[in-house]
């Protein structure tokens, strides 16, 4: 276990960040799943910008790789266009 005051603080802050990243990642995955299940184009077009913003935020914070975010956004846009 860490002995220095700064190391102890780092352990606490790392745990907080880990939980936040885990929550945001799971929420985004559920939103992507929900968007893929939609069959009405109006609803999908309404939800798409929100999901894209969530993916961009995860990529910005290095929770997911930027190329993975780009691939997901592209496939979701194709899905919405095909409805």
Mean confidence (pLDDT) of the chain? 94
**pLDDT for 2 beyond 90:** no
Domains of the chain: 5-82 (1.20.58.110)
pTM of the model: 0.86
Chain segment 58-67, per-residue pLDDT in tens: 999 999 999 9
Contact 80, 41 (CB under 8 A): yes
Tokens matching residue 27: 């929420």
Distance CA 23, CA 26 (A): 5
H-run or E-run covering 1:
none
Chain segment 30-43, per-residue pLDDT in tens: 999 999 999 999 99
């Amino acid at each position: 276990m860490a002995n220095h005051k700064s190391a102890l603080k780092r352990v606490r802050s790392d745990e907080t960040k880990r939980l936040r990243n885990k929550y945001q990642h799971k929420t985004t995955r559920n939103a992507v799943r929900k968007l893929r299940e939609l069959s009405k184009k109006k609803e999908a077009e309404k939800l798409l910008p929100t999901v894209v913003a969530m993916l961009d935020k995860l990529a910005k914070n290095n929770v997911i790789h930027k190329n993975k975010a780009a691939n997901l956004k592209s496939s979701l846009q194709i899905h919405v266009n095909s409805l």
